[in-house]
Structure 1
Amino acid sequence: MDTSGLAAALIQGSEVILKSDEACLDFARSSEGVARYIAQNLDERQELVDLDDEGNNIFDALNLLWAKLAKSFDPSQATANHSEGWASEDSRIQLALGLGKLERNLIAGLQTFQDIAEQHEESLRALIFHVTTFIRIADERFFTLQSVLAQLLCNLISPSSAQPGADRLADKYLQLYLSGGRNEDIIIRLLDSRDTKTNNATLHLLNNVVRGNEARLRLLLSGVGVRWLAKILNRMDEWVEVQNGLFELGASIFNNIIDHSLHPELFQLLSDPAEVITPSQTILLKVLDSHLSSSTQSSPSPSPHLFMIGLFHNLAKYSKISIDSKQDDPRLPKIFEGLILVTEGLSAIGLSVQSRKDENYSLQEDLNGDEEVVRTMKDGTNGVVKPSIDLLRSLDTFFPRINPRAKSTGASITSISDELKPFSNLKRNLVQLLGILTFEDTLVGDQVREEEGIQLILGMTEIDENNPYLREHALLCVRNLMLNNPSNQSIISQMNPVGVLSPDNGELLPVPEKMKKK
């Protein structure tokens, strides 16, 4: 490809380009043309670096141009910049776009070029800082530039390979961006962007820098890093709705954190003394829940997931106190949401352990992480059986059942507020967890009986339109409670049947004569 025009313009110098609208736009067009060519001919990049026979190369020429561009966009130097006679802002935006695309494609995956281009990282960082000010971050004229600069930065500092030394820039600049300096923390500014491509490039950058590297993942648990992670978490609900790939990129970062057992520490760092559970903690639980549901491997010992049991206790205790007080509590929906996620996560661990047992997995003398969690859940003192039953008892009143029979007979039905209706499934989740823990374990069944939970769970075998599948989970739990447990069986034998459930619609029918006690 003929790059003589580009070379000639660069050799003229940055002043000539930056002080003319025509020169800016011409250079931008030339740069974009070369960038497109590079994208299709990556193996020819080396030939495009040298500008002439006198040793001038493209990176040295770009160095001064990036520095001048950054200065021209500095809003704190508006008066001085005006006297410089720069080209119009729109022309300089186009110039920066062309340069960004050119260098982005030039250095992608080439450590040699990354090392040379590092000389103008400071100018790139300053330019990103200036084009993500409070005003410009929302100005659509800057959106494409923000995304291209984020892509360039990503290609500059991302490890180009797994070879020793290939992650030098990742180490150096992640530490710099996390150092706490206002001008250094450009990641938080890029995450503030409402431009999808900018967010995409920023999340790719973070993924590339921390993937599989525990030391750099730990750096993210610093004060600045936690702010980045909290911002990502707080936007993930928004991203999952639009299905633009950002949710998956964000989740990938947190799955890496979970894979390295750093999520309990992050969960604690995301806490707020004024909140029982913060929104960012809730989103982290969603990612963890998905991770646990899809994982086939047990966690290491001691299990990093043990914190979920303490969290379950705290959330269950708060919920019960709030429900029993019969006072309006605006925090309750968020507490319920957290409880549902924790319960689902603990159930996933329990099912995983049972699955390995079913596959003739032999337990080692030293429990691995998941078995350790299940053993703790079953513990009579620190486990989850008692708080689950206590909370279920309160929830059974708080979330009244809706039975089709009640509708047909005209019986009054207590309604649930629209805000709380999505959380009525918490009863089902708790019963499911108890069903998992009582499976082939009479000691847990004894705990349920001692807490008078058998009668409570039996009462949930009736159809409840507010709780799809609650009846099925309750029936399974009752089955597990009765199996090989004469003491539990005797409780049912002492009860007087009030009716039988129709197999067709769940309606409560009269007790047949042969079933009545004499």
Structure 2
Amino acid sequence: MDGQAQFQFQQTDMALVSGEEVERLIAGLKTTPSWTDQADTAAVSQWIVRGWAHLGAHRDRLDLGLAQPDSPVGAPNRLATVWARLTRDLVSAGPTKYQDALRPAIAHIVKLLWFTSAVARLDHPHFKALNQSSLQALSNLNTLNPRAIEHTWPLLMDCDARQSILPRLLYTRNNRVLLPVGVLVLNCVHGDRGRIDSLTDTPLGRDVMRMLLERLDALLDDQTEMVFEVIVKLVREIVALEPATEGPKLYHSQATPSQVLSPGQLAVLKVLDSLALPPSSAFLLAEFARLAPRLDSAWQGFVLLIHLLVSRIEIFIAAAPSSGHKDALEEDAMDDPHVEEVVRTSIRILKEVSDQRSQLMSSHDPSRATSSRPEPEGEDKKRSINQILSGLVKLITHLIELKNSAAASAGHPDSRGAAFIQDLVRTMDGFPVILSFTKFDVDFPYLREHAIVLLKYLLKNNPDNQAVIRDLEPLIVPS
């Protein structure tokens, strides 16, 4: 093995190298990994770099059989694929030895990927394995290697969008190719604010993230895919390095003039909803106010914002006994005027959506149904109404608890705490609609529970509200 490997590494005419010989080298990495310690690292690396240069210079040969996807993969494609695998496996087996020595190969790999990522080749059977292995090799070369990243990142991002391989590669329908693209970007931006900013502040970066986020959204039904986890990690990496006072730049960078909430923004909100620490209340409240009048176009994002606000409030409530709680609330935009505006908006939406709920239930009266199978549009509408109503009821409840806990921690027994919220619900005539939610509905199973808890908070220590509720009957909701 060692003698044959040494012969191979001394070969200067790369046209004489066969794929079978390279396959034996790859197999040797598994059966006799010690040969990499015995071999001359410089000789091995120079040989591999020469091979990449040879592949790039003769890349047109890779198109043999391009018009016949069912034909066997040609020798040039097989050689290029095993060359990429050898590079990948060598770096993986000995990163400290080969990452720096193989750095000159990076430019050759990027150039070849530009060729193989063309639309006609990207997901072609003859190029799938080559693209996957080449990307894995490039990613391994950049794993925790700042010098390699400094060499690679400009080739990926410091160029015109039409010259970057990233957008071309992201058109792939193959998750096995998409995965190393995501890993490569994650490896390059890890812990570096400047490179992360290039993903949010440049047209190319925004385009790359848009494509990744759209793929993330499409993978929500199959979160076992490794690429899903990689893209989520990338989003978390970006968000983690953003100053809390600025709000999620990635979210704002995905805004489009023609959409209330772009698919990229919705995907970012879904990742934010999975974080232990939600973004600042200032951002959440601003987006809550922006999306509230546009629920037809952005109800999913609005529901996520409600979840995030509730999570943020729960953090404040848990911290209520600590000193400076009131100041923290004011600094984080959870002061009384902001809370009052949220409650006003919530009551208005509860009334409007409750009317839609009544209309929906009337239109789906079983006695009028022509089919036993529910219409998909009706089910989607029902789900959106359920989530909006339950979320807003829970949000108002948490706001009351927040203000009461803030008043208690401030040590002012005369403070009315959340009384202004209780009174606002009454003056906006919100009790009838909230009371109507207490009737059990199999299609809205949790709404009743949330409504009962909210009523308890609205009535506590508030004689005016108690007097109103005694004289009310719930709104009639169709059975």
Partner of 1:232: 212
Shift of 1:98: 1.9
Helix, strand or coil for the counterpart of 2:358? coil
- Among 192, 207, 212, the residue aligned to 1:213: 192
| 1:6 Cα offset (Å) | 3.3
1:372 equivalent to 2:332? Answer yes
Q: Give CA-to-partner distance per residue, 1:127-157, whole Å, 9 cap, x none.
A: 1111111011121221111111111101112
Identify the residue that residue 291 of structure 2 maps to in structure 1.
315
1:84 — aligned with what?
none
- 1:47 to partner: Cα distance: 2.4
Could you say which residue in structure 1 is the equivalent of 2:69?
A: none
Distance of 2:460 and 2:121 partners within structure 1: 67
Deviates more, 1:129-138 or 1:452-461: 452-461
Residues 99, 307 of structure 1: alpha-carbon distance in 2 compared, 3 angstrom cutoff? same
Quick one: which of 37, 40, 48 aligns to 1:49? 40
1:239-286 residue CA offsets vs partner (Å, 9 max, x unmatched): 232322221111111112222236622212111111111111111111
For residues 270 and 488 of structure 1, the distance between their equivalents in structure 2, rounded to whole angstroms, comes to: 44
Aligned equivalents of 2:221, 2:165: Cα separation in 1? 26
Q: For residue 247 of structure 1, what is the aligned residue in structure 2?
A: 228
The residue aligned with 2:112 is: 127
CA contact (8 A) 1:277 1:338 kept: yes
**Aligned residue in 1 for 2:318:** 355
- Scaled by the length of structure 2, the TM-score of the pair is 0.83
Matched to 2:273, the amino acid is D
Pair 1:397–1:13, CA change in 2 (3 A): same
TM-score when normalising by structure 1: 0.77
Per-residue deviation, residues 314-357 of structure 1 (Å, max 9, x unmatched): 211123xxxxxxxxxxxx2x411111111111111112222333
State the alpha-carbon separation in 2 of the partners of residues 28 and 98 from structure 1.
Answer: 6
Contact 1:210 1:216 in 2 (8 A): yes
Residue type of the alignment partner of 1:470 = L
- The one-letter amino acid of 1:429's match is G
Are the structure 2 counterparts of residues 449 and 74 from structure 1 closer, same or farther at C-alpha, using a change threshold of 3 Å? farther
- Which residue among 148, 166, 181 is the counterpart of 2:133? 148
Q: Structure 2: how far apart are the matches of 1:317 and 1:230?
A: 25
Unaligned runs of 5+ in 2: 65-71, 405-417
**What residue is the counterpart of 1:66 in the other structure?**
52
Does the 8 A contact of 1:392 with 1:427 survive in 2? yes
Tell me the alpha carbon deviations over residues 438-485 of structure 1, each in whole angstroms, 9 at most, x when there is no partner. Answer: 223222222222322223212211122332211111111111111122
Deviations 1:55-79 (A, max 9, x none): x60111222211120222248x989
Distance in 1 between residues matched to 2:474 and 2:241, nearest whole Å: 54
Q: Conserved in 1, the CA contact under 8 Å of 2:9 and 2:47?
A: yes
| Structure-2 change in CA distance of 1:7 and 1:474 (3 Å) | same
> Is 2:234 aligned against 1:257?
no
CA-CA distance at 1:312 after TM superposition = 1.3
- The one-letter amino acid of 1:228's match is V
CA distance in 2, matches of 1:285, 1:364: 27
Percent identical pairs in the alignment equals 22
User: Which residue matches 1:163?
Assistant: none
Q: What is the aligned counterpart of 1:24 among 15, 18, 21?
A: 18
Q: In the superposition, relative to structure 1, how do residues 153 and 498 fare at CA in structure 2: closer, same or farther (>3 Å)?
A: closer
**2:193 touches 2:241 (CA, 8 Å); kept in 1?**
yes
Alignment of 1:475-514 (within 5 A): 475-493=452-470, 495-497=471-473
Alpha-carbon offset, residue 397 of structure 1: 0.8
Please give the per-residue CA displacement for 1:394-424, whole angstroms capped at 9, x wherever unaligned.
10111228899x989x799x99724423212
Structure 1 residue ranges, 4+ long, deviating more than 4 angstroms after superposition? 401-404, 496-499
How far the C-alpha of 1:377 sits from its partner, in A, is: 7.8
Does residue 464 of the first structure (1) align with residue 455 of the second (2)? no
Counterpart amino acid of residue 392 in structure 1: L
**8 A contact 1:175–1:219 mirrored in 2:** no
Cα drift, residue 197 of structure 1: 2.3
Does structure 2 retain, via aligned residues, the 8 Å contact 1:24–1:95?
Answer: yes
Q: Which residue identity is paired with 2:445?
A: P
CA displacement 1:287-331 (0-9 Å, x = unmatched): 11111xxx1x576xxx3x522212211211123xxxxxxxxxxxx
Check if 1:339 corresponds to 2:302: yes
For the residue of structure 2 that corresponds to 1:341, the secondary structure is helix
Give 1:36's aligned amino acid: K
Return the letter of the residue paired with 1:286: K
SS of equivalent residue, structure 1 residue 141: coil
Matches within 5 A, 1:246-325: 246-261=227-242, 264-291=248-275, 295=276, 297=277, 303=280, 305-319=281-295
Q: Confirm whether residue 97 of structure 1 aligns to residue 81 of structure 2.
A: yes
The one-letter code matched in structure 2 to 1:210 is V
Q: Quick one: structure 1 residues 403 and 107, their matched pair in 2 at CA, closer, same or farther if it must change by over 3 Å?
A: closer
Distance 1:148 1:119 in 2: 18
Distance 2:240 2:474 in 1: 51
- Cα distance in 2 for residues equivalent to 1:434 and 1:365: 19
Report the alpha carbon displacement of residue 388 of structure 1 after superposing the two structures with TM. Answer: 1.0
Match of 2:156 among 177, 189, 192: 177
Is it true that 1:223 corresponds to 2:203 in the alignment? yes
- Paired position in structure 1 for 2:28: 34
SS of the aligned residue for 1:135 comes to helix
Q: Distance in 1 between matches of 2:29 and 2:177?
A: 19
| Structure 1 residues 280 and 507, CA gap change in structure 2 (3 angstroms) | closer
Change (3 A) 1:377 1:231: farther
Asked whether the equivalents of residues 26 and 89 of structure 2 are also in contact (C-alpha less than 8 Å), the reply is no
Equivalent pair of 2:2/2:35 in contact (CA under 8 Å): no
**Pick from 167, 176, 180: which aligns with 1:197?**
176
Amino acid in the other structure paired with 1:132: S
Please tell me whether the aligned partners of residues 28 and 99 of structure 1 are also in contact (alpha carbons under 8 angstroms): yes
* 1:284–1:184 distance in 2 versus 1, CA, 3 Å: same
RMSD: 3.4
**Helix, strand or coil for the counterpart of 1:240?**
coil
What is the aligned length? Answer: 445
- Work out which of the residue numbers 428, 431, 435 in structure 2 matches 1:454: 431
